[in-house]
């Protein structure tokens, strides 16, 4: 039994017609699903160094629980001989952030890991404006201290009693 095939030119026209309605979507929050900003955490430690003792204790006790509770984050453990222990986070926007946990105890390392996990990956900068808007107001920001007379909300009964 022979199958019917459209000519190649016709297939290209149909594919181009269908593709004009389908636009590629960049992964960003609010489109489809939540995209977690932290994509990978790398734990580096030295096996012989005393400063890595708390990091090795954390890796043996709590790192597996963290990896299981956060399946969206790739967790990598690497030895780094003759260096202080660090935790490095890689984010979806291409940035990375590194924290040295040399002087942290085993109880403080989960807080460092949580802060790296919850960070957006953007550089911290100071906002010079109070309100960020595409259409700024002509009058400026409202403040109750700029009003000369005080407005009272009252109903008919309170007006009649006065």
Report pLDDT for 43: 96
Which residue do the tokens 């026209």 mark?
13
Q: What is the distance between the alpha carbons of residues 5 and 111, in angstroms, rounded to a whole number?
A: 61
Low-confidence stretches of the chain (pLDDT beneath 50): none
Identify the pLDDT of residue 32.
63
For the entire predicted model, the pTM comes to 0.62
pLDDT, one tens digit per residue, over 31-66 is 667 778 899 999 999 999 999 999 999 999 999 999
Separation CA 89–CA 73 (nearest Å):
10
Cα separations in angstroms, 98 against 42, 113, 115: 9, 10, 11
The sign of the CA dihedral 54, 56, 61, 64 is positive
Rounded to an integer, what distance in angstroms lies between the CA atom of residue 86 and that of residue 84? Answer: 6
Q: Would you call 107 exposed, middle or buried from its count of C-beta atoms within 10 A (0-12, 13-18, 19+)?
A: exposed
């Amino acid at each position: 039994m022979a199958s019917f095939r459209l000519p190649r030119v016709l297939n290209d026209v149909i594919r181009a017609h269908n593709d004009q309605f389908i636009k590629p979507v960049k992964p960003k929050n609010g489109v489809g699903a939540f995209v977690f900003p932290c994509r990978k955490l790398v734990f580096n430690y030295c096996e012989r160094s005393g400063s890595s003792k708390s990091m090795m204790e954390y890796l043996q006790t709590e790192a597996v629980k963290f990896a299981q509770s956060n399946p969206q984050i790739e967790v990598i453990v690497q030895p780094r001989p003759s260096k202080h222990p660090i935790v490095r986070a890689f984010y979806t926007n291409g940035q990375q952030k590194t924290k040295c946990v040399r002087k942290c105890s085993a109880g403080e390392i989960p807080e460092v890991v949580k802060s790296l996990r919850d960070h957006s990956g953007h550089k911290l900068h100071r906002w010079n404006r109070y309100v960020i808007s595409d259409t700024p107001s002509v009058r400026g920001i409202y403040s109750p201290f700029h009003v000369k007379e005080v407005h009272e909300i009252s109903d008919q009964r309170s007006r009649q009693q006065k």
